[in-house]
Chains A and B, each alone.
Chain A
């Protein structure tokens, strides 16, 4: 049938996935390095949270800014990029049953990314780059800082190129029929956005690097802001895209969910590619030299079509779970499908909590703060980190954690140690992030600045209530850190001490809902949930439970949105 069928691989006995031997090492290496950077960023996170909690105020001033720079870069750039490269290699080789295009390229990419990341971290810790993640000019860091970021960006670009080459080989050698699976489609959308993102990074970082070496004039700071956010914000859209792909993956694997309508899901990914890019504009909403027309145009047409895409995914993902669960016979009431979902399965709980936190907290705050005029009462306050910790941490990181609980047994063939703790971990992490995000958002609503060491700014400016919310930041941060530490500990512990899964033996399931014998659709569902095709007719298994959740979401959105217009109307008139 094709020449590709004899590439070195092994077949996972639980899932039936072929694990490509040539890709396996790189999936593992990138994922492990990602987790290492997550741990570095996590240790930085707890130090920061305990400094902003005024009662503790842990770090001295210079170390606070240093550690904050370290935290931002390790979390938003390194952890995410390394893990995304792992995801790209994994979904392409596994789901398309193809070998990795080039091992040499994968090596080059891995080494460049690693060298770059280490350079950046060392430069920061030596105190040569106290410039924050955004490193706004004219603040200047040591050249090694910029060079390191360039190396990571180019290394990631090479990995993305390797992914596209792998897709090409799969197409050419006909390892699949028709269209690629939805998860691969989503990962490809993420990869396309990554290319645009990293090109922005190159355009802004190369002149800045040369300037730091005194080889060219200082780039204009406003130009830098515009271009840097092409990197800084868009890279987070890569996360969003990858996260949504992981949602579809985990929904399928934990409940047997199937997309209601492939065309809708795929169109939503295309909307991300086309329209998310200019959403970078909402970092410039209160900037000088950028007209109101430019700000409004770029936040309305561009952002809201991407928002539409998120709202489509936000409906279709839980709806597909509802249809799958009802198909298994969990038909009681509006939410019987949800209450009977496999909540003890960390893959499911991480995915569903990620969906809820991303949508209800991250999404609603993000769109509201990104509204041109409302940004006046939000820009650079703690409301901004309050928003993006709900998207990137409560959303993306939590979804990636859920994925790990499946990928580690699949690739390393080891059983997770201390399973009850694994089942608890997503809840603990989600809870910590929720508390922290609430604390940040409300403190920010009182004007508390982000990226500031002394919360009180030298007096009692913000008032006692703000301090209460900052204490919540500290407490939530501590809870989230414990959960993160648990995640890293459990995963590393499993790699070292986990019981080996013997060849040919299925890996132990985290728990997937059984088909009820009274189910009207039970004879269509294959025994291994999620991996075999079955009949699902949306009309036969309606989605009214999801519809109710969606309407609740829309109402919450409207309340928060218009409450913010009201708050804006109360401040001084300004033009």
Chain B
């Protein structure tokens, strides 16, 4: 290193290719170790953590998905009047197959789930892309038309939760708020 160096604006002197030394070398070592920790955390959480996005999804035509949601609502309510409220009652667990439709600009139906039970929640869109944002948990997933996105979820506490669309879906986007009731 005991040679003249040049500023970043000038051509470097010959022999510039040198191994780092001193603090710079130490820092690069620390940075490499940190990056390894970052890299290992994700596979670790995949196997040991409880919150993962595995991207489980199935191709589905938007029109077919709408039919599945309607069938699901019909089976789980029986009463036409209840369907109009958009409330599907408790789904038997485990692992109950639950359907949720995103459409400009609403979520259908309002779901009632039981705390501590595991559900396979199928979400897809009838038209454009939407964002599934469950509040106040702040859990967020992308909803893409043509893909039946399956989330295997386990509600943890009773209460009323809101679903806000957080992918821009057109000029009524901000009205798109749905509900999940956990008992």
B73 located at the interface, meaning its Cβ lies under 8 Å from any Cβ of chain A in the complex: no
Contacting residues of chain B (125-165) with chain A, CB-CB under 8 angstroms: 127-129, 131, 133-156, 162, 164-165
Known: A258-B6, A542-B23, A547-B26. A286 touches B133 (CB 8 A): no
B167 located at the interface, meaning its Cβ lies under 8 Å from any Cβ of chain A in the complex: yes
A300 located at the interface, meaning its Cβ lies under 8 Å from any Cβ of chain B in the complex: yes
Partner of A221, one of B50, B53, B140, B146: B146
Q: How long is the Cα–Cα vector from A453 to B173 in the complex, in angstroms?
A: 8
Q: How long is the Cα–Cα vector from A533 to B3 in the complex, in angstroms?
A: 11
Binds A, one of B38-46, B75-83, B84-92: B38-46
Q: How long is the Cα–Cα vector from A423 to B38 in the complex, in angstroms?
A: 39
Contacting residues, chain A, for B6 (C-beta < 8 A): 181, 258, 533
Q: A287-B53, A449-B164 are in contact. List 20 more A-B contacts (CB 8 A).
A: A139-B168, A176-B11, A182-B8, A258-B5, A263-B16, A285-B53, A287-B144, A288-B55, A294-B55, A312-B31, A376-B139, A380-B142, A446-B138, A454-B174, A457-B174, A543-B23, A569-B50, A572-B153, A574-B152, A575-B52
Partner of A572, one of B17, B156, B166: B156
A522 located at the interface, meaning its Cβ lies under 8 Å from any Cβ of chain B in the complex: no
Contacting residues, chain A, for B133 (C-beta < 8 A): 380-381, 447, 449
Known: A138-B127, A453-B174. A380 touches B140 (CB 8 A): yes
Contacting residues, chain A, for B49 (C-beta < 8 A): 373, 568-569
Known: A304-B38, A380-B140, A574-B153. A292 touches B164 (CB 8 A): no
Known: A319-B23, A574-B51. A377 touches B139 (CB 8 A): yes
Binds B, one of A199-207, A246-254, A470-478: A246-254
Contacting residues of chain B (9-36) with chain A, CB-CB under 8 angstroms: 9-14, 16-24, 26-28, 30-32, 34-36
A259 located at the interface, meaning its Cβ lies under 8 Å from any Cβ of chain B in the complex: yes
> Interface residues of B toward A: which range?
35 or more
B168 touches A557 (CB 8 A): no
B170 touches A452 (CB 8 A): no
13 contacts between A and B (CB under 8 A): A181-B12, A186-B8, A262-B5, A265-B8, A288-B144, A296-B42, A449-B165, A452-B166, A452-B168, A539-B2, A543-B24, A550-B27, A573-B51
The interface centre, meaning the residue of A62, A286, A557 with most chain B CB atoms within 10 A of its CB, is A286
Contacting residues of chain A (544-561) with chain B, CB-CB under 8 angstroms: 544, 546-547, 550, 554, 557-558, 561
A561 touches B129 (CB 8 A): no
Contacting residues, chain B, for A463 (C-beta < 8 A): 136
B144 touches A221 (CB 8 A): yes
Give the number of chain A interface residues (Cβ < 8 Å): 116
Contacting residues, chain A, for B11 (C-beta < 8 A): 176-181
A333 located at the interface, meaning its Cβ lies under 8 Å from any Cβ of chain B in the complex: no
Q: Closest approach, in angstroms, between the C-beta of B18 and any C-beta of chain A?
A: 6
B181 located at the interface, meaning its Cβ lies under 8 Å from any Cβ of chain A in the complex: no
Q: Mark A382-401, 1 if CB is under 8 A from B, else 0.
A: 00000000000000000000
A256 touches B152 (CB 8 A): no
B8 touches A258 (CB 8 A): yes
Known: A222-B144, A457-B174. A531 touches B9 (CB 8 A): yes
Query: What 8 pairs between A and B have smallest CB-CB spacing?
Result: A288-B57, A288-B149, A248-B8, A449-B166, A182-B8, A447-B138, A454-B174, A573-B50
Q: How long is the Cα–Cα vector from A265 to B17 in the complex, in angstroms?
A: 10
Contacting residues, chain A, for B152 (C-beta < 8 A): 574-575
Q: Closest approach, in angstroms, between the C-beta of B34 and any C-beta of chain A?
A: 6
Contacting residues of chain A (404-460) with chain B, CB-CB under 8 angstroms: 445-447, 449-454, 457-459
Contacting residues of chain B (44-77) with chain A, CB-CB under 8 angstroms: 45-46, 49-57
Residue of A nearest to B172 (CB): A61
A61 touches B21 (CB 8 A): no
Residue of A nearest to B134 (CB): A572
Q: How long is the Cα–Cα vector from A176 to B56 in the complex, in angstroms?
A: 56
Contacting residues, chain A, for B17 (C-beta < 8 A): 262-263
Known: A285-B53, A536-B5, A542-B23. A572 touches B177 (CB 8 A): no
Q: How long is the Cα–Cα vector from A371 to B24 in the complex, in angstroms?
A: 27
A260 touches B42 (CB 8 A): no
B54 touches A178 (CB 8 A): no
A221 touches B145 (CB 8 A): yes
A464 located at the interface, meaning its Cβ lies under 8 Å from any Cβ of chain B in the complex: no
B145 touches A373 (CB 8 A): no
Contacting residues, chain A, for B2 (C-beta < 8 A): 537, 539
Q: How long is the Cα–Cα vector from A344 to B57 in the complex, in angstroms?
A: 56
Q: How long is the Cα–Cα vector from A447 to B52 in the complex, in angstroms?
A: 18
B166 touches A450 (CB 8 A): yes
Q: Closest approach, in angstroms, between the C-beta of B119 and any C-beta of chain A?
A: 10
Known: A288-B149, A312-B28, A380-B131. A571 touches B51 (CB 8 A): yes
A277 located at the interface, meaning its Cβ lies under 8 Å from any Cβ of chain B in the complex: no
